[in-house]
Structure 1
Amino acid sequence: MSFFIRNVGRGGETQKRKLNGHRGKIFKSQSTSKRLKKANKFVHDDNESIASTDEEFAEENLRNKTEKFETETDEEEETAQEKSLRLAKKYLQEIEEEEKDRAEFEESAVAQRLREEYLEQKGRLRKTVASNYIGHNKLILLRCKEHKGPITCICLSNDGSILYSGSKDGSLVKWSVKEKIKLKAIRGKRGKTKDGMKSIRCMAISTDGKFLVIGAIGCNDIKVFSGDTLDHIKNLQGHRKFVSGLIFRKDTHTLYSASEDRSMKVWNLDDMAYVESLFGHQSGITFIDALSRERAITSGGYDGTIRIWKIVEESQLIFNGHNLGNSIDVVKLINEENFFSGGDDGQLCVWGCLKKKPLCSVPEAHGRDETNGQPMWISSIATLLNTDLVASGSRNGVIKLWQCGQDFRSLNLLFEIKLTGFINALTFTPDGNQLIAGVGSEHRNGSWWRIPEAKNSIVIIPLKHK
């Protein structure tokens, strides 16, 4: 039984899935003999229309048209292999230009970068940096009048210069990370703007910063905004319940969405079109993540499973983890082969794509609640991609930074950062110099507890290195 439902066009014809935002088209190529025949006919027709007294003009005219036809024919005859070679040479030239602009240029810089990109794609790139982190400098607090409710989600632009944050009151704010100021904002439900949202649950920004997408409670649509101006572009309709997770496939406009309706959907934002649906979870999906590969990873809440969806192969890998009866609330990739998970049982688990059981698990990673004796929920996880550094946040306001051991078989605590409130969202800047937290007086998924003294804010944590 297939877990994938494709978009079906008119007349019952199944549409081809889009690859990198383009539908496949089939063109019938003409043979060389047919093209020459066409050229001869073209020349013959022109000969008949020219007077004998203008023979020199006719010859010149025919020569120009024949040369133009031959040029067009040569362009059409570029093979797929030749095109790939041409694009590869162009890419190498671009890398060389980028590396030459740096202060220190080495002959092996291009080869080193290509090697790292290859290892990253294969999920084998791992930089050991965690041991260099020894603490943090003074915390920087960002607050604004639009965020009256708890911060539920944040996302960073690809270069780490722009931060977007969403709140339970439906407000959306764009920040400058370098200048630590608010750039633009959209008020929530209390505002008068037509794009007002009841309660933002999740958001994602495309790699090029062109599209910002929002999922909100009270609306089953995905709202698409301009990442630059925050102008509303379109609503993507298809989910039957609110959208709980959004992520762009790296370097593309392919969007993956997860919902409380237990489905995951694939969208192409170049055409603002739905592509296909994926089913399998037995409970509402709580989180979604993806990197460069054409696959996504989701956590299934109270169904106790994590699933890796292989889009091309039309298959899924199922991981059963955590304690039976507990909810898996967050899942986060650190590279293409390893990921972390956390939930209301307090466990922080490390996984490998090739094993059904965790490689490592830290039970009660954030301790126990003194009032009720229950484990502290893990509400957020951040990873510094392709390294050994990970951070986890809990409902008691504590952020812990961890170092991954050899082959992700162990987790060692580096240090703690204590805040007040629920740590609903975490993200590292790409250079690893800062950790950014979204803090609220309530959990992002509900209002079971409330911490009145907590400030709904963005906290920028400058990290100290050796």
Structure 2
Amino acid sequence: MSFFIREGQNKKLSGIKRKFSDKKSTKKFKKQPENEEISSDSDFESDQNNLNDAEESSEDENLTTQERRLKLAKVYLEEIKRQEEKRAEEKEFHESNVSQRLKDDLLEQTGRLHKNIADTIDRVDVESIHRWKTKCNRDAVTCIVLSKDNDTLYSATKSGVITMYSLKTKQKTHSLPFKKVKEPQEKLHIRDLSISFDNKFLAVAQGKNIIIRDGKSLNEVHIFKGHSTDVTGVVFRQDSHQLFSCSNDRSVKVWSCDQMSYIETLFGHQSGITSIDALFRERAITSGGYDCTLRVWKIPEDSQLIYNGHSGSIDCVKLINEQTFVSGGNDGSLHVWGSMKKKPLCTIKNAHGIDSTNDLPNWIVCIAALLNSDLVASGSYDGFIRLWKVTDSFRNMKQILEIPVNGFVNQMMFSQNGDYLIAAIGREHRSGRWWNKTDAVNSVIIIPLVKKNKKN
């Protein structure tokens, strides 16, 4: 099968989508080059008029175009300073943080930003591990998502309960009540969550539908319908309200939460899709379950890249950066991939050992990757979460820590600074009821990661 496939069958839909997207981009980004940080003259004059009104200064009327550009650039830098001061919290703020932030933003957009985080982790602060066990978690916790400001955590269960937690106060702040209905359990089952970059929209993969909720109140905003079977994954494209979804119906769908509209459908997988991820580019990556392929969907080009390497169902995939990703499945192996290579850059077989009851590899249920770094976590049901360091330009992996956890690790994610790892734990697998670990506790746990240069 070709590594690079053009989707002829999607041309009609793609044409509709491109017309939609071009119209939007022309209106919003008129005359503004993609990589330029300072606005064009027309956009600048509008912003400058706002500044003039606010400052009530008559001197600005005589400024040249170059002087106006310089003034707007200063406003932009001041905004970055405020963001960095907030991030620094109790740390001392330095002017060098601004220039470093600008460099990091450029490298992140191009997929070349890399941070060495794994070597800074010393151990896990076991005594400080926090577990949220509430009445809302009467069923297995299937998924979690953390807001971009690291303040609010959302979790969901098989019974359809969504709960909000405050990481600052370590308290539950809101939840949707458990509903006793006569409908089949599958219609309540939530398999995935995703939060938009501005925390405005929370996408909920529930049954065959995608429910868009308000990120603060959890009120229902809209329902996307179109998948013919259960939705298995949702993800917002970074810094946008464009949403990607995947389903057991073997399709990927693209939606706009700005217009609350459907854009297009992508086909190619030969089995139910198990997970999906995306970053800044207008592309998504999916794992195809028992068709044993990973696919990168290049949406503007209406094409896809296909990767083969697993010997069983591929159940999870996660982007490390725009160029590199990691996958796991029921063959027990972890694979690291580069977008320009058809075969894995690195393979760790039996990453979670062998199941003594059947002499088969322990299933890799979920993966987490700290964005643009060398730190990866894998979860199974063998009693441990394992932390890995990706080395040698992503061509090798070595285990650095084992974290004891009882139950199915259904989903994980790192905080943005890598100070802690959050995990959704259930007695059952998030997608089925094949096993039941009766001694496990349905809960959400926060695991502090102690850095070598920090004290308890």
TM-score (norm 1): 0.81
* Paired residue secondary structure (1:233): strand
Answering whether residue 412 of structure 2 is matched by residue 410 of structure 1, we say: no
CA distance in 1, matches of 2:191, 2:137: 14
Q: Which has the larger radius of gyration?
A: 1
Structure 1 residue identity aligned to 2:8: S
Q: 1:378 to 1:176 in 2, by over 3 A?
A: same
CA distance in 1, matches of 2:242, 2:195: 11
CA distance in 1, matches of 2:67, 2:138: 57
* Paired residue secondary structure (1:146): helix
* Paired residue secondary structure (1:4): helix
Answering whether residue 437 of structure 2 is matched by residue 446 of structure 1, we say: no
Q: 1:82 to 1:259 in 2, by over 3 A?
A: farther
1:176/1:182 contact within 8 Å kept: yes
Q: Which runs of 5+ in 2 are unaligned?
A: 1-6, 29-65
Q: 1:210 to 1:374 in 2, by over 3 A?
A: same
CA distance in 2, matches of 1:146, 1:197: 18
Match of 2:279 among 271, 291, 312: 291
Match of 1:349 among 335, 352, 355: 335
Structure 1 residue identity aligned to 2:358: N
CA distance in 1, matches of 2:369, 2:145: 13
Shift of 1:451: 0.6
Match of 1:248 among 236, 244, 266: 236
Q: List aligned pairs for 1:16-415, cutoff 5 A.
A: 16-19=18-21, 22=24, 24=26, 91-99=76-84, 104-137=92-125, 138=127, 139-190=129-180, 198-217=188-207, 220-323=208-311, 326-415=312-401
1:264/1:279 contact within 8 Å kept: yes
* Paired residue secondary structure (2:354): coil
* Paired residue secondary structure (2:136): coil
CA distance in 1, matches of 2:25, 2:180: 42
Structure 2 residue identity aligned to 1:155: V
CA distance in 1, matches of 2:364, 2:227: 27
CA distance in 1, matches of 2:74, 2:22: 21
Q: Which runs of 5+ in 1 are unaligned?
A: 27-80
* Paired residue secondary structure (1:215): strand
Shift of 1:397: 2.8
Q: 1:20 to 1:360 in 2, by over 3 A?
A: farther
Q: How far does the alpha carbon of each residue in 1:313-351 deviate from its partner, in whole angstroms, 9 at most, with x for none?
A: 11111101211xx10000001111111000000001111
RMSD: 2.6
* Paired residue secondary structure (2:371): coil
* Paired residue secondary structure (1:118): helix
1:6/1:275 contact within 8 Å kept: no
Answering whether residue 10 of structure 2 is matched by residue 4 of structure 1, we say: yes
Shift of 1:140: 1.2
Shift of 1:187: 2.7
Q: 1:283 to 1:112 in 2, by over 3 A?
A: same
1:289/1:297 contact within 8 Å kept: yes
Shift of 1:85: 9.5
2:423/2:444 contact within 8 Å kept: yes
Structure 2 residue identity aligned to 1:453: D
Structure 1 runs of 4+ off > 6 angstroms? 81-89
Q: How far does the alpha carbon of each residue in 1:62-102 deviate from its partner, in whole angstroms, 9 at most, with x for none?
A: xxxxxxxxxxxxxxxxxxx9999997665344224545776
TM-score (norm 2): 0.83
* Paired residue secondary structure (1:301): coil
* Paired residue secondary structure (2:109): helix
Greater displacement, 249-258 / 110-119 = 110-119
CA distance in 2, matches of 1:221, 1:167: 16
Shift of 1:244: 0.6
Structure 2 residue identity aligned to 1:170: G
Q: Matched residues, percent identical? A: 48
CA distance in 2, matches of 1:200, 1:99: 36
Shift of 1:435: 0.5
Structure 2 residue identity aligned to 1:173: T
